[in-house]
Amino acid sequence: MDLCPNRPSFLTIYKWSELLSEIDSSKMLYLFAHAPSQLAPVAMLRLDMTEPAGWISSLWVHPEHRKRGLASSLISRAVVNCKERSLQTIGLTVHNDNADARKLYERRGFLQYINSHEGYTQLVKVL
Ligand SMILES: CC(C)(COP(=O)(O)OP(=O)(O)OC[C@H]1O[C@@H](n2cnc3c(N)ncnc32)[C@H](O)[C@@H]1OP(=O)(O)O)[C@@H](O)C(=O)NCCC(=O)NCCS
């Protein structure tokens, strides 16, 4: 029996996109997603921005919080930040074995650019 029938579910209460926080500097931006009542972030994206391109150099989501759209939200925020700075592209490197991550990026408009160093592929999204 639900003792609090009017209480929204965990995911309804907390809109992840509204829980993102930022630490900014002129050429580097960290985006974090926080779970309620947890001090440490549960997801993080590092974005490097050097004209004319943005670069996602790190993206990680805590295993317990995956498949909830956190990485997608962080990527969307990274794209917005790059557009605000009038950057032309946003890119990243993904390991060829990381099929889930690659699918995530490709469904969000990232295209294969080049095979970079051994076992890795660069993906780029035109802004
Ligand atoms: C890859 C990684 C960042 C993805 O993070 P994530 O938060 O699970 O990603 P999302 O939830 O935004 O999207 C993952 C999938 O879950 C789906 N999803 C999102 N919300 C969902 C929900 N509520 N219910 C079911 N599925 C959902 C998305 O549609 C997406 O599927 P798709 O790629 O087929 O479109 C995470 O698995 C990770 O940290 N891996 C280890 C580090 C790593 O590999 N980093 C990338 C290096 S390049």
Q: Domain residue spans in the chain?
A: 10-126
> Which is the closest atom of ligand 1 to the Cα of 102?
48
Nearest Cα residue to atom 10 of ligand 1: 69
- 10-126: CATH superfamily: Gcn5-related N-acetyltransferase (GNAT) (3.40.630.30)
- When pLDDT is averaged across residues 56-77 and rounded to a whole number, the result is 93
Whether 1 has a pLDDT exceeding 90, the answer reads: no
CA pair distance 19, 25, nearest whole angstrom? 20
Ligand 1 site residues, Cβ closer than 6 angstroms: 59-61, 66-72, 92, 94, 98, 100-101, 103-104, 107
Q: What is the band of 21 on the pLDDT scale with cuts at 50, 70, 90? A: confident
Nearest residue to 115 via CA among 90, 89, 94: 94
Nearest Cα residue to atom 25 of ligand 1: 67
* Strand duo 53-61 + 89-95: pairing: parallel
pTM value is 0.87
Contact indicator for 42, 62 with CB cutoff of 8 Å = yes
